[in-house]
Amino acid sequence: MKITNFAKQLHGYFTNYLPMQLNLSANTVKSYRDVFTLLLRYCRDQRGLAIERFDMDQFNADVVDGFLKHLEADRGCRISTRNQRLAAINAFVRFLQVEEPARMLQWQQVLAIPVKRTERKTPVYLEAQELQALLEHVDIRTPAGHRSMMLLSVLYDTGARVQEIADLCIRDVRLDHPPQVRLTGKGRKTRVVPLMQNTAELLRIYIDQNRLREKPLFDQPLFVNRQGHPYTRSGITYMVHKYAAAARSAIPTLPPQVSPHVFRHSKAMHMLQGGVPLIIIRDFLGHTDVKTSEIYARVDLDAKRKAMESLAPNTHSCAVPSWTDDAALMEWLKRL
């Protein structure tokens, strides 16, 4: 069977360009792969196109636009998910602009598909007392509870993404003064974040009890489940949901959905409320642009405004004079 030009380019994109030239992580490559898996299924099931004969002529703006509409209408995807799928396709198309410049018009038509505007979401975070109540529902008297407490404490203290915690190895932890951990984030970028002294002491006990200081173990995951396997994103998410559900009876104000990312948002908000500058929060969280971190400043400002409004006296019934009745003010404005 003849290999199509689309199959050849897609193969080179996933086996060489993404992992070798761009040095993207395995998880990022998998997320791109999932997009094209869905795209090819759409072409086969909705368009009647044979995957083994799918070529560049069929990979056009009409097919991509139809795929995006299929995601929203048939699969029930949110606009943000639709935009993420489009971004992955556009990344491949930009690769094709260099590999097959003769089809530049075709590629530009795909790139011209607009990104849909979405409502900016307010980050969900836990107040200090809510976070404390959640952690108090972890039974540290058992090995599993002690391990859960360690993981949740490091998750909050580092403001890490859930995958960064899952990938954390023993060699990434430094408990000598100043205690710190090295996190590997998106694009395999690494950053070093400090640990609070209490968390460092708990981590020291955890490492000693599990005898993790031996050199052959340095490359092993820091956190493993009861079967000895590394924690996955879904495993950590399940743990957070379990303890959040237990704490909700004690603190009804807990958000309906508490995910591992809520711990990250909570750390950022608590740092901001503690007077830490946004530029430091940006580096701490591993954001590439301080504009991404500014969302926490907006949330904090909105919370302060609501608090002030609740404390302010009711002035709606007061007789406030109209500024247009001030002749001196009106004369000054006219001279501007």
162 and 261 inside one domain: yes
99 and 135 inside one domain: no
275 and 187 inside one domain: yes
179 and 274 inside one domain: yes
Residue 147: what residue type? R
Instruction: Name the residue range of residue 95's domain.
Output: 5-111
Residue 83 scores a pLDDT above 50: yes
> What pLDDT was estimated at residue 136?
87
Residue 250 scores a pLDDT above 60: yes
Annotated active-site residue in 82, 103, 146, 161? 161
| Cβ–Cβ < 8 Å for 29, 18 | yes
* Backbone torsion region of residue 253, taken as left when φ is above 0, otherwise alpha when ψ lies between -120 and 50, otherwise beta: alpha
Annotated active-site residue in 47, 186, 191, 233? 186
Residue 91 scores a pLDDT above 50: yes
**265 within domain boundaries:** yes
285 and 200 inside one domain: yes
What are 142-190's pLDDT values in tens digits?
888 888 898 999 999 999 999 999 999 888 988 888 889 999 887 778 8
- Catalytic status, residue 177: no
- Distance from C-alpha of 143 to C-alpha of 224, rounded to nearest angstrom: 12
Whole-number mean pLDDT of the chain? 85
Residue 310 scores a pLDDT above 60: no
> What pLDDT was estimated at residue 219?
79
- Catalytic status, residue 47: no
CA distance to 320, 334, 335, per residue, from 331 (Å): 21, 5, 7
226 and 273 inside one domain: yes
What are 281-293's pLDDT values in tens digits?
888 888 877 777 7
**132 within domain boundaries:** yes
Residue 316 scores a pLDDT above 70: no
Q: How confident is the model over 316-327, as a mean pLDDT?
A: 52
Pick the most confident of 82-91, 164-173, 235-244, 304-313.
82-91
151 and 292 inside one domain: yes
154 and 247 inside one domain: yes
Q: Output the domain CATH number for residue 175.
A: 1.10.443.10
CA distance to 40, 46, 72, per residue, from 66 (Å): 12, 9, 10
136 and 238 inside one domain: yes
Pick the most confident of 84-88, 132-136, 214-218, 327-331.
84-88
Of 247, 147, 239, the closest CA to residue 202 belongs to: 147
Burial 109-126 (b: 16+ CB within 10 A, else e): bbeeeeeeeeeeeebbbb
Helix ranges (H only) for the chain are 5-12, 26-45, 61-73, 79-99, 104-111, 128-136, 143-158, 162-166, 197-209, 233-248, 260-273, 278-285, 290-311, 327-334
Return the minimum-mean-pLDDT range out of 233-242, 247-256, 258-267: 247-256
> In the chain, what percentage of residues exceed pLDDT 90?
40
**273 within domain boundaries:** yes
- Catalytic status, residue 120: no
- Catalytic status, residue 204: no
> What pLDDT was estimated at residue 76?
93
Partnered with residue 230 across adjacent β-strands are 224
Res. 320 pLDDT band, cuts 50 70 90? very low
- Catalytic status, residue 261: yes
Annotated active-site residue in 82, 264, 270, 282? 264
Q: How confident is the model over 84-106, as a mean pLDDT?
A: 96
278 and 141 inside one domain: yes
**291 within domain boundaries:** yes
What are 21-37's pLDDT values in tens digits?
988 888 889 999 999 99
293 and 173 inside one domain: yes
174 and 103 inside one domain: no
The number of distinct structural domains making up the chain is 2
**Strands of 180-184's sheet in order across:** 173-174, 180-184, 190-194
- Catalytic status, residue 282: no
